[in-house]
Amino acid sequence: MNTRDRTPYDLLRSALAADGARPLVTYYDDATGERVELSAVTLANWVAKTAGLLQDELGAEPGDRLALLLPAHWQTAAWLLACSATGVVADIGGDPATADLVVTGPDRLEEARACTGERIALSLRPLGLRFPEAPEGFTDYAVAVPGQPDTFQSFEDPDPDGLALTVDGRPFTAAELVTEARTAAAELGLPTGGRLMSTRDYGSWPGVAAGLYAPLAVGGSVVLCRPADGLDQPARTRRAESEHVTHFAD
C-alpha cells in the first residue's frame, strides 16, 4: 500500500511488492468444506491469467462492460482485479442483455444467456475445477485460463478516472474505488495489515468493500466465509482464532 496507488490493480501490485508470500484472500465454503488460501503471489497469478484471457482471447477493451454474476468467492476477487488491470468495467449483478460480456456461476447460466457477447462460466467447484461438461454457449473458465501467461501486460494503462465498477447501481472510477476502500477500512476499524473475516456477499458496496477492496487498501487480508449462516458461534470463534482474524464484517 502506498499513496501512489490509483487503481485496485495498483493495490494488488503493492501487496505483491510488500510481501508476496503472505495470505491475501482465504475462502471458506461451509456447505462443501472447501478452504482455499491465496497469497499475494498466487492471487496475482490468477489475476494475470484472467486479464490475459479478457484482453488477448476475448478481445475485451477498456470501457467494455462485464456483467459479473458471481457470489463472494476467491475467483470473483480475481475477476474484479483482472477488470481493473484491463480497464474493463465490472458490473456486479448487472444485466447481461446490455453487457459486452458476462461471467457467471452455475446457478445463473440461463440469465447469462441474454448476453450477445462473450459468455464465460465458472463451475465454482472446489479448487476451481472445470464443469463435468461445459455449458453450451459458454467458455469454461477453468479450461481457458490455465494456458494464459503468468504475467500480464495491458495494451494501454487503464485510466484511474475511468469507470471501473458498478455495484448495486453505484458507479465508481478506479481512483474512487481506492479512496472509498480506504474509507471503508476506516469505518470497519481495520488497521494497516489487519485481517478481516467477512460473511457479506458481493452484491453491495459494503459487501465487496469488506470482502476485497478495504483489506487490500490497507495492506491487510480477508477471510471470506459462505454461506453467511454456515457457522455457529463456537465454530466461528475457533476459525477466527485459527486464521488470526482481527476484525469482522457480518
Asked if residue 238 belongs to a domain, the reply is yes
**Which pLDDT value is given to residue 145?**
98
Q: What is the pLDDT of residue 1?
A: 52
150 in any annotated domain: yes
- For residues 204 and 48, what is the distance between their CA atoms, to the nearest angstrom? 25
Given a cut of 80, whether residue 160 has pLDDT beyond it is: yes
Number of domains in the chain: 1
DSSP H or E stretch at residue 14? helix 8-19
What pLDDT, on the 0 to 100 scale, is given for residue 155?
93
DSSP, res 45: H
> 222 and 212 in contact (C-beta within 8 Å)?
yes
- Domain annotation covers residue 3: no
So what's the pLDDT on residue 70? Answer: 98
pLDDT category of residue 202 using cuts at 50, 70 and 90: very high
Residue 2 resides in a domain? no
Q: Residue 216 belongs to a domain with what CATH number?
A: 3.40.50.12780
- For residue 107, name the pLDDT band (cuts at 50, 70, 90): very high
- C-alpha distances out from residue 161 to 103, 175, 216, Å: 24, 6, 19
- The C-alpha cell that represents 157 in the structure block: 494503462
For residues 96-102, average pLDDT: 98
Instruction: Please tell me whether residue 159 adopts helix, strand or coil conformation.
Output: coil
**Domain-embedded: residue 1:** no
Contact 200, 220 (CB under 8 A): no
pLDDT band at 165 (very low <50, low <70, confident <90, very high): very high
> For residue 140, is pLDDT > 90?
yes
Domain that holds residue 149: 8-249
Give the position of cell 485460463.
145
Residue linked to cell 464443469: 131
Judge whether 185 lies within some domain: yes
Which cell goes with 7?
487503481
Task: State pLDDT tens for residues 206-230.
Answer: 999 999 999 999 999 999 999 999 9
- Could you tell me if residue 174 is inside a domain? yes
Q: What is the mean pLDDT of residues 158-164?
A: 97
In a domain, residue 78? The reply is yes
Confidence of residue 3 (pLDDT cuts 50, 70, 90): low
**pLDDT grade, residue 4 (50/70/90)?**
confident
